[in-house]
Amino acid sequence: MHHVLFVGNGVNRLSKTGPSWCSVIRDLADYVDKTNLIMDHVNEKPFTLVFEEIFFRSARARDIKETELKKRTADLINSIQPNHFHSMIVESGVRHIITTNYDYNLENSVSLRFEEANLSRETKYSLFRRRKAHDISIWHVHGESDAPNTLMLSHEHYTGAVQKMRGYLTSGRRLRKTTKSPFLVGDMSFDIGDGVFSWLDVFLRDEVHILGFSMDYTEIELWWLLSFKERLRLSGRNVGKTFFHQFGPKHTVKEKAKEAILESFGVEVRRDPKYQQSYEAAYQAFFDDYGELIKDTT
């Protein structure tokens, strides 16, 4: 069984440069001249719906296009610089890294030259979107900043992604050499050779370690995928385990409720005491404890 790192925005928060998501929202709100309306009670609004709010208000008032907002978001995100933990992730020895981050800090943190290696042409969605160097693949599953239209920001984009994912895993999609998910037709070595596959196949087959990712309920496509993976397990399919490593000192009632749901989905939640000291200590503790385990030696 191979191991995969699923990397959220937490690692970017350890960089000293670049905006937080709250500051991105404020910048977009300022840009469309709707700051007071949009920022009022912003902490009570789901991010995907806040982006929809920004788009609809600005489209009506100033005829601003969604692509313009996405390009501005990409410019803001690109100001984040890589840090030591980005390189630890890339050099961890895993063959596949799945990230929801739009930037290239993982790729830019090491001397390897990562190049576009998409397995199918996509202009909006990201089932086959990856960068590759030697035998390391980095999958940008929420889009990437060099292609702003792919940035998954709106509720519409998230729900469309679920549709694409479900279509690929249940009805099949005609691609160069395959008409269906290779994992689901029994090919456990789909990433060896030049066949077409998706990060979804990797997520289902391998043991996935989720790091620095909050699993917010707005991440509807990932909740759907976790549910799909567990349903496969219950039906007798051989799928990999999923581990959610909970970083940070806070352990609120909302987090406990989310962990309970994750556990019901077959996810193993790990709250090591070493993870609770600081985010820096959490990443270091993870690699100290799991560094040898996750290395791919095949």
Mean pLDDT of 82-92: 97
| pLDDT tens profile 236-258 | 999 999 999 999 877 789 999 99
Lowest mean pLDDT among 121-125, 167-171, 219-223, 229-233: 167-171
Q: How many percent of the chain have pLDDT more than 70? A: 97
CA distance 75 to 134: 28
Residues 7, 213: contact at Cβ < 8 Å?
yes
The pLDDT confidence band at residue 156, using thresholds 50, 70 and 90, is very high
CA distance 169 to 184: 7
pTM: 0.95
Total residue length of the chain: 298
Lowest mean pLDDT among 3-12, 30-39, 185-194, 264-273: 30-39
Backbone angles phi, psi at 45, to 5 degrees: -105, 135
């440069």: which residue's tokens? 17
SS3 130: strand
| pLDDT tens profile 166-205 | 999 987 555 555 458 999 999 999 999 888 999 999 999 9
More confident residue, 209 or 17: 209
* 90: Cβ contacts below 8 Å, ≥ 6 apart: 97, 106, 107, 109, 110, 112, 136, 138
Name the amino acid, one letter, at 140. Answer: H
Q: Is the pLDDT of residue 164 over 60?
A: yes
SS3 243: strand
CA distance 237 to 13: 37
Average pLDDT, the chain: 92
Q: How far is CA 32 from the centre of its chain?
A: 27
More confident residue, 283 or 39: 283
Q: State residue 136's pLDDT score.
A: 97
Q: State residue 172's pLDDT score.
A: 59
Token duo for residue 298: 């095949």
Mean pLDDT of 117-137: 96
More confident residue, 22 or 145: 145
Q: State residue 174's pLDDT score.
A: 52
3-state helix, strand, coil in the chain (%, to 5): 45, 10, 40
CA distance 1 to 104: 28
Domain ranges for the chain: 3-15+81-294, 21-77
CA distance 271 to 249: 10
96, with CB counted inside 10 A (0-12, 13-18, 19+), is: buried
Q: State residue 29's pLDDT score.
A: 87
Q: State residue 21's pLDDT score.
A: 81
SS3 269: strand
Q: How many percent of the chain have pLDDT more than 90? A: 74
Q: State residue 39's pLDDT score.
A: 84
Mean pLDDT of 96-112: 97
